[in-house]
Amino acid sequence: MEKERRESPRRESTCQLSILFKDREVRADLRNISSGGAFIHVAGEESHKITFADTGRAVTFLLTNGKSSVNYKGTVGRYTESDKDNKYVAIHFNQRTMHESS
């Protein structure tokens, strides 16, 4: 059995989010998340907005749930694709900020 290398356990998820680069926004689906990072699926038309060249770039992604939102700041640590319309990125977190609307 392979030993888990992650520092914190992952929690499976299927919520939608936005990945914000300096020059664009990419809508995506969260697959799993931990305190150290997230694994994200980018599909369909949105998949053309992200490439291997984004590896190492700083990003913010925004999760919104009702009146609360969380902005995660991090770096794209890994990029993979199963075909031209299904791409995946792993983001390593640097910091997180929470906002609540009134």
Q: Is 5 inside a domain boundary?
A: no
pLDDT band of residue 36 (cuts 50, 70, 90) is: confident
- Domain of residue 51 covers 11-100
User: What pLDDT was estimated at residue 49?
Assistant: 96
Q: Helices (DSSP H) in the chain: which residue ranges?
A: none
User: What pLDDT was estimated at residue 96?
Assistant: 60
Q: Is 6 inside a domain boundary?
A: no
Q: Is 23 inside a domain boundary?
A: yes
pLDDT band of residue 56 (cuts 50, 70, 90) is: very high
Would you say 54 and 42 are in contact if contact means Cβ atoms under 8 Å apart? no
pLDDT in tens, 71-83: 889 999 999 999 8
Q: Is 2 inside a domain boundary?
A: no
Averaged over 7-19, what is the pLDDT? 82
- The CATH number of whichever domain residue 38 belongs to comes to 2.40.10.220
Beta bridge partners of 65: 68
pLDDT band of residue 5 (cuts 50, 70, 90) is: low
Take residue 50 and report the two structure tokens written for it. 């992200």
Residues 6+ apart with CB under 8 A from 100: 67, 68, 69
User: How many CB atoms are closer than 10 A to CB 20?
Assistant: 16
Q: Is 52 inside a domain boundary?
A: yes
Per the structure, the count of domains in the chain is: 1
Rounded distance between C-alpha atoms, residue 41 and residue 63, angstroms: 14
The pTM (predicted TM-score) of the whole model is: 0.81
Q: Is 3 inside a domain boundary?
A: no
Please state, for a pLDDT cut of 90, what percent of the chain lies above it. 55
User: What pLDDT was estimated at residue 69?
Assistant: 81
